[in-house]
Amino acid sequence: MIGEIGEIAGSQAVLRVGRQRWRAMLGAAGIRADKHEGDNATPVGRLALRRVL
């Protein structure tokens, strides 16, 4: 199942999977395609949810 990030406000977002929605935290610098170590950003891409708290 594929989720989608939407409703981004700063480092907070909403993860939508089907009809369900969860709050999600992003890096302080938001989502960036040109991610570099230590830039406080979340990389653009399809990422596996390995652990959900």
The C-alpha atoms of residue 14 and residue 6 are separated, in whole angstroms, by: 5
Q: What is the pLDDT of residue 1?
A: 74
User: Would residue 48 count as lying in a domain?
Assistant: no
Identify whether 53 is part of a domain: no
- One-letter amino acid at 45 equals G
State residue 2's pLDDT score: 79
Question: Could you list the residue range(s) of the whole structural domain that residue 24 is in?
Answer: 4-43
The single-letter DSSP state of residue 44 is S
Q: What is the pLDDT of residues 1-53, one digit of tens each?
A: 778 888 888 889 999 988 999 998 889 998 899 999 999 998 988 878 787 77
31 belongs to a structural domain: yes
| Per-residue confidence (pLDDT) for residue 21, from 0 to 100 | 94
**Domain contains 50:** no
